[in-house]
Amino acid sequence: MNKICLTRHAGVAELVARYLGRADVRGQEIVLYDLNGEVHDTIAVVSHLDADEARRLARKSGLVLYGVVPLHLAALAQLVFAVEWDCAPPRGREMSAEWVRRHGRLVPYVVRPAATCDVCGSVDVESVAEGVQCRACGAYYD
């Protein structure tokens, strides 16, 4: 399983490590320890992940993403731990690491693209006995 923390903010990697427990940030990695204190997994910390790379990693051995993740990448991952704030972020200035620690939390999501009509692209589709029917254009396919 490929695990990647997507963020431009060092405080977010620390938040993820704290959330997961028995983990710390070392350079561009979050290192996870087992009960004996041995390293058992790592999460790469990156500031950018393009969709082709995310797709490749997801196909290879699965993908879990942490951080502030755009939906098109989230949909490629089995699981996303999104960083959310318990109040509005400060306007017009950088979030401090202290602010991130105090107000951030991780919320797990499973994100999937909605089913759409192959013909017109509408999301107004329904599963019927032998396939899918679009209520917008009437197309029917299996």
Binding residues for Zn ion (CB under 5 A):
117, 119-120, 122, 134, 136-137, 139
Task: Name the residue nearer to Zn ion (CB basis): 73 or 117.
Answer: 117
Least Å from the CB of residue 115 to Zn ion: 11
Task: Name the residue nearer to Zn ion (CB basis): 106 or 137.
Answer: 137
Task: Name the residue nearer to Zn ion (CB basis): 89 or 131.
Answer: 131
Least Å from the CB of residue 137 to Zn ion: 3
Task: Name the residue nearer to Zn ion (CB basis): 75 or 137.
Answer: 137
Reading the block at residue 82, the tokens are 């999104």
Least Å from the CB of residue 138 to Zn ion: 7
Write down the residue that tokens 């320890």 correspond to.
Answer: 33
Least Å from the CB of residue 76 to Zn ion: 25
